[in-house]
Structure 1
Amino acid sequence: MNKAKRLYFGWYIVITASIIVLLSMGMRMGIGPFIHPIMDDLKLSRTEISLIVSIGMIFYGVGMPLAGILLKTFNTRMVLLMGLAIVCISIVWTVYSKGMLSFLLSYGVFLSIGLAFLSSITLSPIVSKWFVRQRGKALFYLTTGGMAGLAVMTPVETWLIGLMGWHNTLLLLGAIFLCIVLPSAIFIMREDVPEEADGAGADGAKIRPVAPANLTLKDALKTPTYWKIVFGLFACGFGMNLLGSHGVPMLMDHHFAPMTASLGVGIIGVVAIFGSLFLAQLADRFPRKNILFLVYVVRGLGFFGLVFSAATWQLFLVSFIGGLAWSGSVAMSTAILGDLYGVRLLAILNGLAYFIGHQVGAAIGSFLGGWGYEVFGTHLLSFSAAGILALLASLASITLPQSLSFSKPTDLYDRHNITSGQ
């Protein structure tokens, strides 16, 4: 086959990474269909299971920088295999849990850490290494896997739980993880990136100054820009995990049938898949902060629409419109971090941002959803908070700079740091 026509190997990595993220995000965000059967089986209150889910979000976040540290010591393949082992063991443990403590440790702690090792935090650095010229597009495709997880897994899990119960559903998901992640890690996840990556060294490539080679984590953490990105991820985690944990129960409490509620949440993910594919075409052509701004605005308005939907057509309409620009916050945040701070620190910076921002927000959102309902008898408080946070995140995003200046010498240029509209 002609070399010019051969599919760039990096795209195989993107495809397999997206499938892995589909599974891990689908399980992490797809707790909603499990809540009622687990509450009934383990005799847990909504506040108790919300607390366990929130603790799980924290440990999911703890696993993010841990995965980043392990990536510097080992490689993507080894971190994925570690995550797979933890996930499979934790699923079996969860299935045989008989009380709150056992369920907390198996599902809330260890399964969460294992899923963190199989998340986009582990996979985005290798994608960023293989793609420079089309980094934004590749990361958006990776995000599409996460959106597909929300779209596919939520209704599928609802159907499977009704068919075989939550125990067997978890075991089946564990078997699927094993069949997908094991061969992907062994045969696809290669670190031997070509020198020119995806055409980064082509004639006419746009180059720009990059962060100093000796830029430290401490230097990066001192910049206000980093914390704006963290705040955006906080809003993202709060809202997305509130939706994943309490979206289906909230809609059921609003008198929607279980499958209608699952479809309402699932439509967001289905439409977001196509929205991600469209935004991927724009990611390297327009300023990334503008795309991030759009994503947060649409998401913020979407939360208000969901909680006020009173009829099935209203729910599906809000889900469809919201899904058009629902995804992309993590992809754009990752791309912006890579652009501003360099790929060398990307894994640890992204992992910390995800933990400090996204997962702390996720824990608060998941807990507030259950606690707020039991105390106030309404989901308006938690879903309105999610909408307001997303709108504030849009304001923080639009003020992000195009580049950063550091006190250390910045006379290093990198032909592999290519921007289009940045």
Structure 2
Amino acid sequence: MEEKRRGIYFGWYIVIVSMVITMLTVGLRLGIGPFVLPMMEDLQMTRTFISTIIAVSMIMYGVGMPLAGYLCGKYSTKFVLLLGLVIIELSIVGTVLTDNVWIFFLMYGVLLSFGLSFTSPVAVTPIISRWFVRQRGRALFSLSTGSMAGIAIFNPLATFLIETIGWRGTLFTFALIFVMIIVPAAMFIYKEDVPEGADLEVDSSGTKVSTLVVTENLTWRDAVRSKAYWQVIAGLFACGFSMNLLGSHAVPMLVDHHFAAATASFGVGLIGIVAIFSTLVLASIADRFAKRKLLFWIYFIRGLGFLGLVFSQSTWQLFLVAALGGLVWSGSIAMSSAILGDLFGVKLLGVLYGWAYLGHQIGGAISSFLGGWGYEVFGTHVFSFGLSALILISAGIISYLIPDQLKLSNTRFNQQVGQSSTST
């Protein structure tokens, strides 16, 4: 407990650095919007073809998640981050040097996204969850600030850089930034030796205080058989569907609706700007209220925001909808991972979160494709953005029904729990 008596709890340094890495990763993965039209023109691709590439990239981002979670448990967060960095750098170099659409497909659509999964929230959530028990919801909500900052900063910054040095130069610039951030962070910040008791409070008698139920006997099979796990996955599917539709097609959609490119990029970025501040408020209450209820409101209001976004007719309407949507844009991933940690324990969190995030990316892949395909087939973006609203509202209802405590019918698990209770 000595580390907590020296001032700021060291776990918060891990959270801060993780926020920066998440900002870079999510910004590059979800900030594809400003790149779509320049890439289409340069490589002479149709909107459906580049939407297919984006969809594949979302799948690859998700495929890497369970592996990243597994490697974090087997080796370390440092190992996973550095491995991801190597893949990211090689894939970006291959992307900027090619004019062949199929090599572009491989480098940008497959390898880059796979590498980014190793620097994603899945890679840092397990170590944050080990460093935080009492304030786990707050810590993971704070991590979401990085995602929101990525959306807020990346879209307008990428638009500016693309207009200045082109999309290839912009990607290469971000490759350099990744090296400058991840290498020192992996070497000096990520410590696996968590102090005993982590951030648990100690009462006057010296006893550590915790309100969480320990589920050490659980296996991943128990989790997969539980209804609660699939409810979390359903919510993450909706989250991925909406976030990737926004990142991939919101800027082109607004441009098609006669907004200037800079206005469209700022409108999307405004969602992230507002979400940065709203996340701080939500983080302060994340451990005071039922996480499933917060998830309900996040998904429900976000669904209404998608309808407002696609029907915006003027700049002030766009900015108003973006600002209101930003109030609840963050937190779905943080609350989902916190729920998984509370229900199934930190030991399984990396693997379970990785597989659950694959559902997030499947949703993202579907929406990334439907965003382009739906516009070319139906001639309107109402199809994809309206569908997103429906899925989000449904996810809100499903999330509200997640149990506060795990109930498993697995006989072996129940017997273990009964034996543990008898022995105590």
* Normalised TM-score (structure 2): 0.95
Deviates more, 1:137-146 or 1:196-205: 196-205
| Shift, 1:150, TM fit | 0.3
Q: Is the 8 A contact 1:236 1:329 kept in 2?
A: yes
Distance in 2 (CA, whole Å) between partners of 1:303 and 1:3 is 43
**Where does residue 373 of structure 1 map in the other structure?**
375
**Where does residue 209 of structure 1 map in the other structure?**
213
Aligned pair in 2 of structure 1 residues 181, 260: CA closer, same or farther (>3 Å)?
A: same
Distance in 1 (CA, whole Å) between partners of 2:56 and 2:398 is 27
Aligned pair in 2 of structure 1 residues 267, 15: CA closer, same or farther (>3 Å)?
A: same
| Shift, 1:216, TM fit | 1.4
Indicate which of 344, 347, 351 corresponds to 1:341: 344
Indicate which of 254, 258, 262 corresponds to 1:251: 254
Deviations 1:124-169 (A, max 9, x none): 0000000111000000010110110000011000000001101111
Secondary structure of 1:370's counterpart equals helix
RMSD across aligned C-alpha pairs, in angstroms? 1.5
Indicate which of 220, 224, 228 corresponds to 1:221: 224
Residue pairs, 1:14-413, within 5 angstroms: 14-202=15-203, 203=207, 205-211=209-215, 213-355=216-358, 357-406=359-408, 407=411, 408=413, 409-410=416-417
Amino acid at match of 1:377: G
| Shift, 1:3, TM fit | 6.4
Deviations 1:204-253 (A, max 9, x none): 72434332x23211111011111111010000000100000000000000
Distance in 2 (CA, whole Å) between partners of 1:225 and 1:302 is 27
* Identical pairs, percent: 55
| Shift, 1:97, TM fit | 1.9
| Shift, 1:340, TM fit | 0.3
Deviates more, 1:143-152 or 1:402-411: 402-411
Which stretches of structure 1, 4 residues or more, deviate above 2 A after TM superposition?
A: 1-5, 199-211, 409-413
Amino acid at match of 2:211: I
Q: Is the 8 A contact 1:132 1:200 kept in 2?
A: no
Unaligned runs of 5+ residues in structure 2 are none
Q: Is the 8 A contact 2:78 2:190 kept in 1?
A: yes
Distance in 2 (CA, whole Å) between partners of 1:390 and 1:201 is 40
Secondary structure of 1:103's counterpart equals helix
Distance in 2 (CA, whole Å) between partners of 1:137 and 1:15 is 13
Amino acid at match of 1:366: S
Secondary structure of 1:344's counterpart equals helix
Distance in 1 (CA, whole Å) between partners of 2:273 and 2:228 is 32
Distance in 2 (CA, whole Å) between partners of 1:206 and 1:129 is 14
Q: Is the 8 A contact 1:154 1:266 kept in 2?
A: yes
Amino acid at match of 2:59: I
Distance in 1 (CA, whole Å) between partners of 2:325 and 2:6 is 38
Amino acid at match of 1:315: L
Aligned pair in 2 of structure 1 residues 287, 249: CA closer, same or farther (>3 Å)?
A: same
Amino acid at match of 1:88: E
Amino acid at match of 1:379: H
Secondary structure of 1:210's counterpart equals coil
Aligned pair in 2 of structure 1 residues 39, 338: CA closer, same or farther (>3 Å)?
A: same
Q: Is the 8 A contact 1:151 1:267 kept in 2?
A: yes
Distance in 1 (CA, whole Å) between partners of 2:125 and 2:20 is 13
Distance in 2 (CA, whole Å) between partners of 1:2 and 1:397 is 37
Amino acid at match of 1:410: V
Distance in 2 (CA, whole Å) between partners of 1:200 and 1:333 is 24
| Shift, 1:52, TM fit | 0.2
Unaligned runs of 5+ residues in structure 1 are 414-422
Amino acid at match of 1:69: Y
Secondary structure of 2:242's counterpart equals helix
Distance in 1 (CA, whole Å) between partners of 2:34 and 2:120 is 21
| Shift, 1:96, TM fit | 1.1
| Shift, 1:4, TM fit | 3.6
Count of residue correspondences: 411
| Shift, 1:389, TM fit | 0.5
| Shift, 1:2, TM fit | 11
Distance in 2 (CA, whole Å) between partners of 1:397 and 1:358 is 14
Distance in 2 (CA, whole Å) between partners of 1:273 and 1:359 is 23
Deviations 1:149-200 (A, max 9, x none): 0000110000000011011111100000000000000100110100020135
Secondary structure of 2:347's counterpart equals coil
Q: Is the 8 A contact 2:200 2:208 kept in 1?
A: no
Distance in 1 (CA, whole Å) between partners of 2:52 and 2:384 is 15
